[in-house]
Amino acid sequence: MDKNIARLRRAKTTRSHIRKLGVARLSVLRTGQHIYAQLFTSDGSKVLASASTVQADVMDGLKGSKNLEAAAKVGRTIAAKALAAGIDKVAFDRSGYRYHGRIKALADAAREGGLQF
């Protein structure tokens, strides 16, 4: 089985479980160069906040966009934007990725920023 197909299968089951919970969803996308985070409404129809290493304000003071520090900064930024939008409790959608490395750094920084998973 292809790695990406297996990841998408895992993501599909996770998202169906999150949909039943009825809380906002913090979704993460990881590429070779960047990391992206988006906060969706509970039904998934609207994006409430987003942050990524593509944005210039996130990249200020960082050496690169594909390291743990960049992922942590994206986590802190998305947490601040979520709290500004009035959302403090979210479900973490890791999109089928393993919970380690950049994904874990983003999640830990978002928790430190005030989000509850």
What does the DSSP assignment read for 58-94?
A: HHTT-S-SSSHHHHHHHHHHHHHHHHHTT--BEEEE-
pTM of the model: 0.92
Output the tens digit of pLDDT for each of the chain's 117 residues.
799 999 999 999 999 999 999 999 999 999 999 999 999 998 889 999 999 999 999 999 999 999 999 999 999 999 999 999 999 999 999 999 999 999 999 999 999 999 999
Q: Look up the CATH architecture of domain 3-112.
A: 2-Layer Sandwich (3.30)
Cβ neighbours for 18, distance < 8 A, ≥ 6 positions apart:
25, 91, 93
